[in-house]
Structure 1
Amino acid sequence: MAFLLFAGYQTSKEDDRTWAVYKADANSSSYSPLSQINTSNVNQLQPAWTFTISDMKPGSRSGSSECNPIVVDGIMYATSAKHWAYAINAGTGQRLWSFDPFDGAEGGGVSRGVTYWEDRSSNGKTDRRILFTAGDQLFALDARTGKPIATFGKGGKVSLNVGLRDAPETISVIPTSPGIVYNDLLIMGAEVSELYGAQPGYIRAYNCRTGKLVWTFHTIPLPGEPGYETWPKDAYKYAGGVNDWAGMSLDLRRGMVFLALGSPSYDFYGADRKGKNLYGNSVVALHAATGKYIWHYQIVHHDLWDYDLPAPPNLVTIRRDGKTIDAVAQITKHGFVFVFNRETGEPLFPIEERSVPASALPGEEAWPTQPFPLKPKPFARQWMTEADLTNYSVAGHDSITKKFRSMRYEGLFTPPDLKGTLMLPGTRGGAEWGGAAYDPATTMLYIKSNDSPEIQTIKRVDQEQEARDMTVFDQGKSLYMTYCVACHGRDKNGDEPNYPSLIGLKTRMSREIALDKIRKGGGKMPAFASVVKGKEKAIIAFLYEKEQNSSKMTKFESGKTQAGAEKYLNVTAYGHFRDPNGNPALRPPWGTLNAVNLSTGDYEWQIPLGNDEKRQESGAVETGQEGSAGPIVTAGGLVFISGTQDKKLRAFDKSTGKLRWQTTLPGVANATACTYQVKGKQYVALSVGGSKDNPSGFIMAFALP
């Protein structure tokens, strides 16, 4: 662990707290009231300082930081791609302290930031703490020094594996987004596996002083709890998922916390969880002090598409008939915006339950209807035809046309099928974890959207039989081809930057570290602890290219499920629909930025965001690109957003969508920006991924001259 003290650093009375919480505030608004940087001068924006992170070993693969830094009284707090925590002078970029939560061991995965808590009543002194997660641990650090708070949990940390369904030593729960503070409570969601045998994604609240678990909300209800009847009788014993991995929002005045919950596991086959599966894919309102249920709305019934709610709900206020209504706006992967009365959960625009296609998979019972809001209209494409297929070459077009014709496709909510199924939007489509930005002055909501079709390829899993006569190496290959190939490819080359190449893994990572990552997951990779249990030698033999032809496997387990239930896997989950040369199968735009007026439900503007110059047709508009980072909006009339593969940070006029400024960054900034003021000067800052010269990445700040 490394520490640097504040060395007498003093904050200014002019310093504010306009970005002291993940996504700006408890409302998850991503809005700033600052206006020093505005439409008239943003073209003068220039680099103010760069903090170079250096917590990776030389030769490491470039990190992809998703951290949204927070700033409290002139101090920036952030995490790196390796999960180190940092305190930085927000006016100069000088490091004040750093904390290695792994004490020198290998770390990593997704970390989207930290949470700040303070108490001014402790013996006349202000107790300031940074609360953040790394691996399966929740840490509390002294905000002044970066040292663990000894009285919090055990030596400054609490195991997040404690308090779920199964024994702590057999699981690993790894949150990705920061918790949110209500009085002395830190309310947390978690990232859990999306495979068979996943843990339930219970919501938990911890005491900020002691680390003690105060309350738990069962997202998969136990017997006697509301929603239990929407599952099979014993599902609470084996079903998993239904977790809040993207963050949450908080109405401080009403004492209400709002959750955006994900899908039940397994994501693409639910024969062992027949029913609506509450509170899967639901917006849920709870009493923040107790975790008691207030209301919910389920946005996808019995999810078979991994349509998690991907971002925190935005707490908004809309205007209707001369009145203002406090509301909740939830964006989705399948391209809808749902708007509810904040107190009651009543929809503020009409929603229809429409019939959707039935499943033909053995044992599966897809829910016969799904909710369709009539306003606002979808912000992502939800339908495609052969006319929408790309034509980069005759052979490529013929290949994707043949594939398109071979699949079952009946539009949105076409269920997984042994024939193969097209998904649009896909699991990375529509909105992503960066979430939306809300402007209270105009009731405008700004949404980044992806158009990213995927192919579902469903395969029945009978690996126990298959394993009997296999060598260790062959069984490792079978595991890889079942669970890993969709992301890392048949040749292990991956799909950078989201899915790293595994070629030459043995030169970059020890077998022990690789196995730990496989078990625990991280980033877009789910935890595979239940999958590799008893088969550790097999997957390592394959990944490290070590044939062991004389050895046989005798045990093959693949996760807890309903007794006797069949298992089906989507073996191309999370993969793009592309032609043989890797070109997108769907015509652009592949990414857009959208502005919707929540008071009327109408769009003010929609524009492509990002550009793939190699695939842009001559004279055509920009292609747009996929991206997970979200926008921020300011009183200066600007929307800032990064996250596209062209490495740009851009500023748009929030009223028109006109580009006002852009700059090229040293790496992909797959993170939402922040803006703050120090000593009367406004800055825009963001985490930037690693480069060839510095794989650890950067934090960069921009300001006017």
Structure 2
Amino acid sequence: MAIYTPPRGLALGLLWVLSGLMALIGLAIGIGGAYLVALGGSGYFLVMGIVMLISAVLILRKKTSGLVLYGAAFIGSIIWAISDAGWDFWPLFSRLFTFAVLAFLAAIAWPILRAANSHAPVKKAPAYSLAALLAICMLVSAGWMFVPQVQVTANEDVPVKPVAPGDAQKDWKHWGNTTHGDRFAALDQINKGNVSDLKVAWTAHTGDIPQSNGSGAEDQNTPLQVGDTLFVCTPYSKVLALDVDSGKEKWRFDSHATAPNWQRCRGLGYFEETTQKAAATLAEPAQPVACPRRLFLPTTDARLLAINADNGKLCEDFGDRGTVDLKAGMGEVKPGYYQQTSTPLVAGNVVVVGGRVADNFSTGEPPGVVRAYDVHTGKLAWAWDPGNPAITGLPPEGQTYTRGTPNVWSAMSYDAKLGLIYLPTGNATPDFFGGTRTAQDDKYSSSIVAVDAASGQVRWHFQTTHHDLWDFDLPSQPLLYDLPDGKGSTTPVIVQTSKQGMIFMLNRETGEPVAKVEERPVPQGNIEGERYSKTQPYSVGMPMIGNETLKESDMWGATPIDLLICRIEFKGMRHEGVYTPPGLDRSLQYPGSLGGMNWGSVSVDPNNSLMFVNDMRLGLANYMVPRANVAKNASGIEMGIVPMDGTPFGAMRERFLSPLGIPCQKPPFGTMSAIDLKSGKVVWQVPVGTVQDTGPLGIRMHLPIPIGMPTLGASLSTQSGLLFFAGTQDFYLRAFDTANGKEIWKSRLPVGSQSGPMTYVSPKTGKQYIVINAGGARQSPDRGDYIIAYALPDAK
């Protein structure tokens, strides 16, 4: 029992704090709520803001009615939150946690105000019991933040098939392990039972740290392994050969490449004279081959180099003393406008390259031609010019390959049995205005194009986005897989992930869909001089990941104010689903131009027909800018205004983020999914990545909260039922159980990684290693030059 006494000291301070917080938050959400209502949005925030302001005034006047009013509003908020967001943890947390803190303070303040308004004794126990209950709920909620919110739970076990004698993988000779892009290793020395024992076996340094100074340098390499040597390329077009057991450097090659931006090397090509089979019509070389084992390095300044894999010297029989100039036949190529960033494809006796172009600067940018060169001589074997199929070699004197055509910047795949190379194409530049594109530009834009490996002639093509105005170019290496048909046979399929969050499965012989694709009507725009496709292909026979049409209730924020601002932003934009056309008004593209799925591609467990897909979920706010309003120095590569010279417009691109720098739609912002290729169903889906090394306003939270962050990189599947992945925004290499997606091991990296893990067994020691490059995660300023190998400890 307590006797009447006016509040003073800490008690008075608590009332001032409580009323002050209610007033400030109430004022903010009240004003914002009024604006949201004016935009046609929810009236909750306006009502809650008014109630909080009234409660703050009453509490300041020491009226218990202020606490009663807020208590009723808090109960109403719980009802509203559930009706608005359902029972999902993160949406409920953002809507209620801040208000729960105020309710906790209000419960503590209740006996104080009761005592100030009554000479009778006051019972404190009920109020303090309520405060304790609220405190427990908040603690449980805070603890639940550290529990992964699984999106799809596995309901069946997945068997692990031991590697049969003689079937174990010997080498990792291609970027995706094979030319089929499966990123699967038939190795099981490291397995679910002992993966927790993995330790760092050795660490090497490239000496080539990518600088995070706006130049776009990033380490995204997946090493190759052949025999006792590991081959690594760096963002600045250098190559290292390392011993597989120690990481000791055997040799180093420096191409002395220079580029103003976008420096990276995702992978090398490899050709071995004793095992490769001819796929081109070129004659075999008459003279002995100087480099029986050669690496192909694509440089950032548009050269293709052949390097002796045994000593790091240029193969002088290739091109001009080891070098092919990829600018030949291209016309004017300004520095940084055309370069190689993805791995070249070695397909039999030819090495095939596409190229990255500087999107969105102007029309008439460098050509998107794909070329194949003889692996021995460097002689041009064939060329595929999307704008002029008649040009199959070098252009006639005085001409160039067709400029501004769709290019192939990502990795290609090759089926030796069918003699087909599969090209994932981009779109004709610029990305967001297509009124200047030709019918030929549109024909092969954002498509899978199957070309003959011997001639480069198109066998078939399948378009995944018609007249692409969203930068939905195909970013990933196609997966080639033999799909069991349930009758003892298989269907040769190609599986292509896309930035729009769709997965296309086609017959790789014919290009016909194996998983159903529907042409659906899509919204039409009204930009003068533009044309629009009335329909777009929707891959309905495979899962769609992270591309739902967003609603106001899908908005999210770390606080109610953050949430409210995101809702205001959303209601102030036009959003009509995946194919919302750009316009003069501000519109929301979701997924944005980074994906969906990006260049990291997929990995697969062929024994269980499981494909593993990582994604990012980032929206893009954009609008067209009339030419007169585009600044002369506009040059936004990732974000900002891109000039798109040669068109009537520039284009503004902004990430759809809250003022705290957090994606505005609800978590997760990145996941890993397992997809059954036979049924086309998601087996499991889990959030990937924590906020340990990032956070609001870029401030590291140092908390392993598994909210699921945007991913960028490749995964690795092994026959032991393990899935390795490091392309997160926190600094970890992780191993997941392929049966259910549960994280069963992780190792802290010195910096983040955008690289794909790979694995091999040393031919000398018989030890299996997992290797990862760690050069830095995209959002982090921390950079490094690490190559880290993990292995099991030696038996005692």
Equivalent of 1:55 in 193, 208, 218: 208
Determine the structure 2 residue equivalent to 1:422. Answer: 588
Aligned position for 1:228: none
Q: Is contact 1:15-1:74 (8 Å) kept?
A: no
Change (3 A) 1:391 1:180: closer
Kindly provide the amino acid, as one letter, of the partner of residue 701 in structure 1: A
Report the Cα offset of residue 17 of structure 1.
Answer: 3.7
Kindly provide the amino acid, as one letter, of the partner of residue 158 in structure 1.
V
Contact 1:644 1:668 in 2 (8 A): yes
Correspondence for 1:217 among 377, 384, 409: 384
1:211 and 1:89 mapped to 2: Cα distance?
29
CA distance in 2: counterparts of 1:237 and 1:128, whole angstroms: 32
Q: What is the deviation of 1:105? A: 9.6
Residue 537 (structure 2) aligned to one of 368, 371, 381: 371
- Residue by residue over 1:16-46, the C-alpha shift from the partner in whole angstroms, topping out at 9 and shown as x without a partner, is 6431111101101101001111111111111
1:571 pairs with 2:652: yes
How far the C-alpha of 1:170 sits from its partner, in A, is 8.3
- Structure-2 separation of matches of 1:327 and 1:583: 38
Write the deviation string for residues 385-440 of structure 1: whole angstroms up to 9, x where unpaired.
Answer: 11111133444333322221121111110100111110111111211101001221
SS at match of 1:278: helix
Deviation by residue 1:230-277 (Cα, 9 ceiling, x = unmatched): xxxxxx987614111111111012211111111221101111126580
Alpha-carbon RMSD: 3.1
CA positional deviation for 1:163: 2.6
Change (3 A) 1:416 1:153: same
SS where residue 92 of structure 1 aligns? Answer: coil
Change (3 A) 1:656 1:428: same
**For residues 294 and 51 of structure 1, do their structure 2 counterparts lie closer, same or farther at Cα, with a shift above 3 Å needed?**
same
Whole-Å separation in 1 of the counterparts to 2:371 and 2:305: 15
Q: Closer, same or farther in 2 for the Cα pair 1:647/1:374, shift >3 Å?
A: same
Is the contact between residue 647 and residue 669 of structure 1 (CA under 8 Å) also seen in structure 2?
yes
The residue aligned with 2:680 is: 601
Given the superposition, is the C-alpha separation of residues 204 and 48 from structure 1 closer, same or farther in structure 2, using an over 3 Å criterion? same
With 43-52 and 121-130 compared, the bigger mean Cα shift is at 121-130
Q: CA deviation at 1:147?
A: 1.1
Aligned match of 2:788: 700
Structure 2 residue aligned with 1:192: 357
* Equivalent-residue separation in structure 2 for 1:57 and 1:645 (angstroms): 17
- Are the equivalent residues in 2 in contact too, given 1:53–1:696 (CA < 8 A)? no
1:625 aligns with 2:779: no
* Native 8 Å contact 2:451 2:458 kept in 1: yes
* Aligned equivalent of 2:223: 69
Does the aligned pair in 1 maintain the 2:290–2:317 contact within 8 Å?
no
Q: Which residue of 1 aligns with 2:454?
A: 289
Task: Show the counterpart of 1:385.
Answer: 551
TM-score, normalised via structure 1 length: 0.79
The residue aligned with 2:519 is: 353
Q: Report if aligned partners of 2:386, 2:402 keep a CA contact under 8 Å in 1.
A: no
1:639 has 2:720 as partner? no
* Aligned: 1:95 with 2:249: yes
SS state at 2:664 partner: coil
Q: How many Å separate the matches in 1 of 2:601 and 2:378? A: 29
Alignment partner of 1:657: what SS?
coil
Matched residue, 2:493: 327
- Name the structure 2 match of 1:37: 190
Question: Which position in structure 2 is the counterpart of 1:145?
Answer: 311
AA paired with 2:376?
R
Q: Secondary structure at the match of 2:569?
A: helix
Match of 2:172 among 5, 13, 19: 19
Q: Hey, what does 2:479 align to over in structure 1?
A: 314
Which amino acid is 1:71 matched to?
Q
**Judging changes above 3 Å, is the alpha-carbon distance between structure 1 residues 347 and 153 closer, same or farther for their aligned structure 2 residues?**
same
Question: 1:612 — aligned with what?
Answer: 691
CA distance 1:332–1:129, shift in 2 (3 Å): same
Larger radius of gyration: 2
- Describe the shift of the 1:183–1:420 C-alpha distance in structure 2 as closer, same or farther (beyond 3 A): same
8 Å contact from structure 1 (residues 640, 652) kept in 2:
yes
Q: Are 1:685 and 2:771 counterparts?
A: yes
- The 8 Å contact of residues 726 and 755 in structure 2, kept in 1 or not, is answered as yes
Q: Distance in 2 between matches of 1:46 and 1:237?
A: 51
SS in 2 for 1:483: coil
**Are 2:265 and 1:177 aligned?**
no
Amino acid at match of 2:372: A
Check conservation: 2:774, 2:784, Cα contact below 8 A. Answer: no
CA distance in 2, matches of 1:580, 1:31: 41
**Distance in 2 between the 1:239 and 1:300 partners?**
21
Structure 1 counterpart of 2:421, one-letter code:
V
Alignment of 1:228-627 (within 5 A): 240-273=404-437, 275=439, 277-322=442-487, 323-462=489-628, 478-480=631-633, 482-484=634-636, 487=639, 559=645, 561=646, 566-572=647-653, 575-613=654-692, 614=695, 622-627=706-711
Contact 1:433 1:629 survives alignment (8 Å): yes
- TM-score, L = length of structure 2: 0.70
Q: CA deviation at 1:598?
A: 0.8
Q: 1:669 aligns with which of 753, 773, 780?
A: 753
Q: Judging changes above 3 Å, is the alpha-carbon distance between structure 1 residues 683 and 57 closer, same or farther for their aligned structure 2 residues?
A: closer
Counterpart CA distance in 2 for 1:224 and 1:55 is 39
Aligned counterpart for 1:86 among listed residues 230, 237, 240: 240
Q: Secondary structure at the match of 2:565?
A: helix
Question: CA offsets per residue over residues 578-607 of structure 1, 9 Å max, x none?
Answer: 122322211110000011111111111011
Amino acid at match of 1:427: S
Q: Write the letter of the residue equivalent to 1:218.
A: D
The percentage of counterpart residues that share the same residue type is 30
Q: Distance in 2 between matches of 1:26 and 1:48?
A: 29
Q: How far apart, in 2, do the equivalents of 1:647 and 1:51 lie?
A: 17
Amino acid at match of 1:43: S
The question of whether the paired residues in 1 share the 8 Å contact of 2:557 and 2:662 is answered with no
User: Greater relative contact order: 1 or 2 (C-alpha under 8 angstroms, separation 6 or more)?
Assistant: 1
Shift of 1:221: 3.8
Q: 1:244 to 1:169 in 2, by over 3 A?
A: closer
2:377 maps to a residue whose letter is T
Give aligned pairs, total: 595
Q: 1:485 to 1:40 in 2, by over 3 A?
A: closer
- Secondary structure of the structure 1 residue equivalent to 2:625: strand
Mapped partners of 1:579, 1:130: distance in 2: 46
Query: Quick one: structure 1 residues 14 and 699, their matched pair in 2 at CA, closer, same or farther if it must change by over 3 Å?
Result: farther
The whole-number CA distance in structure 2 between the counterparts of 1:389 and 1:702 is 41
Matched letter for residue 101 of structure 1:
S
Q: Contact conserved, 2:305 with 2:323, CA < 8 A, in 1? A: yes
Paired with 1:203 and 1:68, the residues of 2 have a C-alpha distance of 23
Q: Deviations over 1:82-115 (max 9, x none)?
A: 2211111111100111111117999970210111
Q: Is the 8 A contact 2:388 2:402 kept in 1?
A: no
Residues 211, 217 of structure 2: 8 Å contact kept: no
Question: CA 1:105 to 1:30, structure 2 compared with 1: closer, same or farther past 3 Å?
Answer: closer
Q: Deviations over 1:344-397 (max 9, x none)?
A: 111112211000000111111110000012221202232211111113344433
The 3 A distance-change label for structure 1 pair 222 and 292 is closer
